[in-house]
A and B are shown apart, each in its own frame.
Chain A
């Protein structure tokens, strides 16, 4: 396994711009999760996919956020019209079905100026 890969690792943007993060999960992992982590807090669940189907979204995921996993492999998380409150580390994790063990990537840190 090559591990979960996330890009870019760091993104600085101006308020109002759109940003997109990419996550490549461990191959053959059916499930893919997105989390957000702010300073001094634990990761908070945003959404998850089973294969290409998005099965659950948190209330934290406002209309400006959209996630896709079109072919059941990599996933993208897009934030439109970014706000300063979106500044956080965005973590991606993947797992095999029904194992309960999530493998996390290094995260993508977003700074909104």
Chain B
């Protein structure tokens, strides 16, 4: 079985500041790791994923995450946030042949002007 812990339920930051959203996971098998973003009243959109290969993965809108196997972490970072980044961010893990995702409880990122 897998589990995901998102250490911060809310992260308020000012525009253009850096941000880190923390995610730790536990699993007894090899895992795939994901970050999804959810805007109000919308479904989940994939932000980035780690399946294999390079442990540093990047999204098209400037987010990056690093898979750290020894610390079982997959923290999400962005060097400079925009107002439009305000949303709920979910870390998720999958493992095993069914590829079902186990999600964390989410982190609400609020970017203030």
B is a partner of A: yes
Residues of A within 8 A of B (CB): 4, 6, 31, 33, 40-45, 48, 55-56, 91, 93, 95, 98-107, 109
B46 interface neighbour in A45, A48, A101, Cβ under 8 Å: A101
**Out of A41, A45, A105, which one reaches B102, CB within 8 Å?**
A45
Residues of A within 8 A of B49 (CB): 100-101
Residue tally, chain B, CB below 8 Å to A: 25
Asked if B99 and A95 sit within 8 Å, CB to CB, the answer is: yes
Residues of B within 8 A of A (CB): 4, 6, 32, 34, 36, 41-46, 49, 51, 90, 92, 94, 98-106
Find out whether the CB atom of A104 lies under 8 angstroms from the CB atom of B43.
Answer: yes
| Chain A contacts for B51, CB-based, 8 A | 100
A90 to chain B, nearest CB (A): 11
Contacts of B105 in A (CB 8 A): 40-42
A109-B41 Cα distance, complex, nearest whole Å:
9
Q: How far is the CB of A105 from chain B (nearest CB, A)?
A: 5
Whether B99 and A100, one on each chain, are in contact in the complex, defined by CB atoms closer than 8 angstroms, is: yes
